[in-house]
């Protein structure tokens, strides 16, 4: 089956640099300007929209929000330099699903990787959701640790950056637990994700480091190329082992380590994402007496991961994204 890909660009970079991509099962449509995105999606019915990032673009943000609210389609952002990564997170928060970094030299390996990402997204059923997002708020942080404290672990994939910004933005001051996160994201972007989430939420957010101590009210993001685990002594451990279930970092690896190290003091969360990563780990947290919650379908961009966790019997509560932070606060308190 042919996968139609809508090119959305401002400089012509996609048309100029990617003509060899559109052979066989991929067909290019467009190109169109960001302002034409919604109209083109309605008219051309692409399976994926490929959106060029060329610096800050309020127009692209508004266009993506409109598409996700009115005619949802998977949006893949194309970044051509590290300086554009902050813009990428603004557009991920607007509803784009993923980001691909296009290097200066576009060879066969790069095209093959981009092709795989497009075909993966073409299989995603995107859930319609309202325009816009919650605005950030300032949150005071609490650092002091005691020997026994709870730990919150969050699993997320497609649509995750936006969901994480909303959830973490709702964490109250004085939150009594560290928060560890496994977010499937393009290699090289996890440190940028941590900086963006810190700016959005007011929490102290780190890209996790090996041996780093956990701290209450702080957030630790798995590096994009390493598994993240926790120890019973309250430190982080990075593992360069093989992919698990096709992912590295894998949500199951993190959640299982949290279950084993923290037992009934563990709180597990599965947010929007494709596939079933996280379901086994969340089930282990519940089996050891911890609390578990999954994002509901109506507030998800992609309901795959929460759906699988619910089907596995791993979920204690299914809730709208906007209510999860308050539930975490109740459990942690």
Q: Is 24 left (phi over 0), alpha (psi -120 to 50) or beta?
A: left
CB 296 within 8 A of CB 306: yes
Tokens of 285: 């947290």
**Strands in the chain per DSSP E:** 3-8, 26-32, 48-52, 75-79, 98-101, 151-156, 179-183, 204-207, 218-221, 227-230, 236-239, 266-270, 291-295, 317-319
Is 157 one of the catalytic residues? yes
For the CA atoms of the chain, what is the radius of gyration? 19
CB 279 within 8 A of CB 314: yes
Distance CA 242, CA 285 (A): 23
Closest by CA position to 34, among listed 51, 14, 15: 51
Residue of 98, 122, 129, 157 marked catalytic? 157
Query: What Cα–Cα distance (Å) separates residue 26 from each residue in 19, 42, 77, 84?
Result: 11, 19, 17, 26
213 forms beta bridges with 235
Is 296 one of the catalytic residues? no
Burial class (CB in 10 A: 0-12, 13-18, 19+), 83: exposed
Residue of 98, 192, 252, 277 marked catalytic? 277
Distance CA 56, CA 52 (A): 11
Is 277 one of the catalytic residues? yes
SS3 185: coil
CB 266 within 8 A of CB 288: yes
Residue of 57, 129, 184, 252 marked catalytic? 184
- Residue 68: half-sphere exposure toward Cβ, Cα within 13 Å: 30
Q: Is 127 left (phi over 0), alpha (psi -120 to 50) or beta?
A: beta
Q: Which residues are catalytic?
A: 157, 184, 277
């Amino acid at each position: 089956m042919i996968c139609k890909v809508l090119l959305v660009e401002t400089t012509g970079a996609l048309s100029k640099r990617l003509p060899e991509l559109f052979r066989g099962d991929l067909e290019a449509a467009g190109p169109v300007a960001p302002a034409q995105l919604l109209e083109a999606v309605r008219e051309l019915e692409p399976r994926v929209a490929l959106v060029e990032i060329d610096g800050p673009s309020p127009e692209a943000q508004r266009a993506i929000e409109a598409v996700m609210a009115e005619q949802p389609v998977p949006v893949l952002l194309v970044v051509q330099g590290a300086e554009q990564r902050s813009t990428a997170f603004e557009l991920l928060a607007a509803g784009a699903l993923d980001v691909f970094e296009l290097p200066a030299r576009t060879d066969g390996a790069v095209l093959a990787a981009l092709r795989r990402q497009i075909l993966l997204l073409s299989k995603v059923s995107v859930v319609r959701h309202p325009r816009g997002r919650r605005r950030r708020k300032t949150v005071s942080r609490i650092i002091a640790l005691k020997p026994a404290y709870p730990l919150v672990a969050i699993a997320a994939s497609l649509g995750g950056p936006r969901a994480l910004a909303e959830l973490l933005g709702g964490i109250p001051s004085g939150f009594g637990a560290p928060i560890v996160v496994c977010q499937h994201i393009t290699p090289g972007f996890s440190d940028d994700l941590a900086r963006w989430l810190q700016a959005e939420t007011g929490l102290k957010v780190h890209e996790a480091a090996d041996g780093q101590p956990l701290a209450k009210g702080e957030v630790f993001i798995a590096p994009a190329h390493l598994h993240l685990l926790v120890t019973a002594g309250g430190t982080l451990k990075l593992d360069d082992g093989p992919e698990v279930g096709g992912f590295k970092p894998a949500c199951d690896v993190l959640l299982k380590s949290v279950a084993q190290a923290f037992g009934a003091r563990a709180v597990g969360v599965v947010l929007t994402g494709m596939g079933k990563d996280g379901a086994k780990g969340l089930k282990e947290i519940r089996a050891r007496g911890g609390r578990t919650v999954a994002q509901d379908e109506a507030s998800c961009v992609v309901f795959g991961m929460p759906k699988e966790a619910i089907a596995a019997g791993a979920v204690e509560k299914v809730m709208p994204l906007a209510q999860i932070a308050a539930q975490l606060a109740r459990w942690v308190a």
